[in-house]
Structure 1
Amino acid sequence: MIRVLVVDDSAFMRNMITKFLTSNHQIAVAGTARNGEEALRKIEELRPDVVTLDIEMPVMDGKETLKRIMAKESLPVIMVSSLTQRGAEITIECLEIGAIDFVAKPSGSISVDLYKVREELIEKVLTAGRTKLKARPAPALKPKPEAHQEVVAESVIRPARSGSAKQLVCIGTSTGGPKALQRVLPKLPKTLKAPVFVVQHMPAGFTASLANRLNHLSEVTVKEAENGERAQDGCVYIAPGGKNMAVHLEQGELVISLDDRDTVSRHKPSVDYLFNSLAPLKSFDKIAVIMTGMGSDGTEGVKSLLQHSGGTVIAESAESCVVFGMPKAVINNGLANEIKHVDEIAAAIMTYMKKERA
């Protein structure tokens, strides 16, 4: 049983969230709190497995409360955010501080239509409850060579190297992704001779804030992708929340297209959707990276990449993943060339860039 503390200044919202969560037999609400100060006391008293934490509260807001929680213990926290620009910016900051994930209120601080995110909230609480967080970011681990041999299946497809081909990098991630991207993208040099395409599972209204934050921290340019724009080397394009991103070739240039079609994986944006669009581009060598996240979005896309035109596949290791779902699916299907701690992924990308250019 996963025991949850629900923190929100609105009695209506506390009751709604409690009702939704307790409808699942695997979840029990251990208690509720009206503000951050009360939440900190209840955490000490009740020792919950997961906390749902409203951002906008009197006395002590969600961001300050989260800082205090993270300073004392490794407790999975899910932020409950309003769909405003300021709410999005604070949410991204909270993910950096250590929140495992977030749920967006559909219509403001008191959302009578919260039922729209009921299943999402339940799913994220279940995932958080099964997650063992580390109190501090782990140092980069260097697995022994024989350990790699035990994990990487023998059927792994080796990259096709064309030598003179142009290159591109594509990254897929979900739960824990914003913080993982912060540990990868700032390590890429501004002289990167390839565009980077990123799918981070996130709803509409939040990816622009994520891109702005990452751009501030990085040498490469990071931006939310726009429909019809031409991709440039040294630029990272993040798929907008609620939209699928595809890339096609037009007069020798890579052009981004966005749409809101539903996908088999149910994610929007979808990693599979992006990777499938890149698969036919035989004149480009591809470095595909699958990082932390629940589920298996990206596995079918990686298969398509390798079957159509080859490529190099880097999967994040279990040691650094918040949720070892998406990378595990790629590894178990024998698709990973490299398994790397998140702090080693940027260096691995650059190593393959050098190999391809040599």
Structure 2
Amino acid sequence: MPLKVVVVDDSAFFRRRIVEILNADIGIEVVGTAGDGREAIEVVKRLKPDVVTMDIEMPVMDGITAVRRIMAEAPRPILMFSTLTTDGATATLDALDAGAMDFLPKRFSEMAKDEDSAKMLLRRRVRALARGRSSAPVAPRASARADARHVPAAPASSTPSQSPPPPPPRSSGGRGESLRSLRALLIGTSTGGPVALQEVLKALPSQFPLPIVVIQHMPASFTPAFAERLNNLCQIEVREAANGDALKPGVALLAPGGMQLVLEGGSQPRVRIVDSPPGTIYKPSVDITFTSAVAALRSQVLAVVLTGMGADGREGARALKEQGARIWAQDAASSVVFGMPAAVIEAGLADQVLALRDVGPALVKNLC
């Protein structure tokens, strides 16, 4: 049976375009459309689609409000279409806080190198979100505008999904004593990552003993706003990485969108921000950062792979693992898309497989 999709946008032209692209896939059927947020709520209730695509700026009711209402009344995966501007970044992050699972640029030229690739990417995202569809209602998340830097954060509960349970984690000792000699924590993620990172990083105390490097697949115009949002939410300091930044305990550096973050070793490890090699798909790439840590930090790394589509991070985790580094992966049940962590687990690289709600507390228990 084809996946059922509802397309929401105030532009009739854009709606028709998305409908044509999705209906060209025999595994996807657009069962309804809506021109504003209020109409979208009614259409979703009536048609019960597997996935909803949603514009942000619409008359009558905006997309963020509609997402919040849908996730409260008839929760299902929502894919936002966003402009790649500073205002678009803020609005998209608000939509993710409201319960949306993923986003894509509204302009196809910003989505992929050519129109055919953009169409394929859209279909893949819709299918991936449908596969990871939550089987339990998801409450709208608290607004990320509130400043919670000095308020201890209690771990939020993770969202179950229909994915099958992962294989049992391999044991490598994993005791706190063996992790306290580490020099850095690396975290890689993609689809579902903005919300997952909020949950993990909010659990860390201001005196967290390790430097943190975060690689999130995200456009260049989004990472400054995302770093600022995380910084306002977390007790640790979070900022977008700049070329030459030193790794410091209790500071999380977010890889800039559109570029690559490479680690350099020495008595004071630093980051370099560089252009992507020709043909690189992910900008930033988890594999590139993880692999650079092999020479810079060798075994003194804990690398965590969270929710995301694809397999970025697997080869970097493999290179780190060969040096004796520790690798953790998020489990299937709490992943929005069980792609990146599944690739690490299926390759036999994960020392621990954890539910999202357990990652932050496990870091505190083992490292603080």
TM-score, normalised via structure 2 length: 0.85
What one-letter code is carried by the residue in structure 1 that aligns with 2:192? G
Match of 2:147 in 1: none
Match of 1:279 in 2: 294
Structure 2 unaligned segments of length 5 or more: list them: 140-155, 160-164
What one-letter code is carried by the residue in structure 2 that aligns with 1:48? P
Supply the distance in 1 between the matched residues of 2:259 and 2:21 (Cα, whole angstroms): 27
After superposing the two structures, state which structure 1 stretch, 115-124 or 175-184, moved more: 115-124
Match of 1:288 in 2: 303
What one-letter code is carried by the residue in structure 1 that aligns with 2:325? G
**Counterpart secondary structure, 2:333:** coil
Report Cα offsets for 1:204-243 as digits up to 9, x if no partner: 2112111111111101011111122222211101111221
- The 1:91–1:199 alpha-carbon spacing in structure 2 relative to 1, beyond 3 Å, is same
- 1:325-340 equivalent positions in 2, closer than 5 A: 325-340=339-354
After superposing the two structures, state which structure 1 stretch, 296-305 or 59-68, moved more: 296-305
- CA deviation after TM superposition for structure 1 residue 332, in Å: 1.7
Matched positions, count: 341
> Is residue 194 of structure 2 the alignment partner of residue 178 of structure 1?
yes
CA contact (8 A) 1:249 1:281 kept: yes
- CA deviation after TM superposition for structure 1 residue 9, in Å: 0.6
After superposing the two structures, state which structure 1 stretch, 41-50 or 220-229, moved more: 41-50
CA contact (8 A) 1:166 1:283 kept: no
What one-letter code is carried by the residue in structure 2 that aligns with 1:37? R
Match of residue 346, structure 1, among 344, 349, 360: 360
Match of residue 204, structure 1, among 210, 214, 220: 220
Match of 1:152 in 2: 169
Match of 2:328 in 1: 314
**Counterpart secondary structure, 1:327:** helix
After superposing the two structures, state which structure 1 stretch, 95-104 or 162-171, moved more: 162-171
- The 1:205–1:115 alpha-carbon spacing in structure 2 relative to 1, beyond 3 Å, is farther
Supply the distance in 2 between the matched residues of 1:114 and 1:82 (Cα, whole angstroms): 17
After superposing the two structures, state which structure 1 stretch, 255-264 or 289-298, moved more: 255-264
- The 1:300–1:157 alpha-carbon spacing in structure 2 relative to 1, beyond 3 Å, is farther
CA contact (8 A) 1:158 1:311 kept: no
- CA deviation after TM superposition for structure 1 residue 158, in Å: 7.8
What one-letter code is carried by the residue in structure 2 that aligns with 1:267? Y
- CA deviation after TM superposition for structure 1 residue 292, in Å: 0.9
Supply the distance in 2 between the matched residues of 1:91 and 1:329 (Cα, whole angstroms): 28
- CA deviation after TM superposition for structure 1 residue 179, in Å: 0.7
TM-score, normalised via structure 1 length: 0.87
CA contact (8 A) 1:21 1:28 kept: yes
**Counterpart secondary structure, 2:246:** coil
Report Cα offsets for 1:158-202 as digits up to 9, x if no partner: 89x888855100001111111111111011111112110011111
Q: Percent identity?
A: 39
Supply the distance in 1 between the matched residues of 2:138 and 2:280 (Cα, whole angstroms): 32
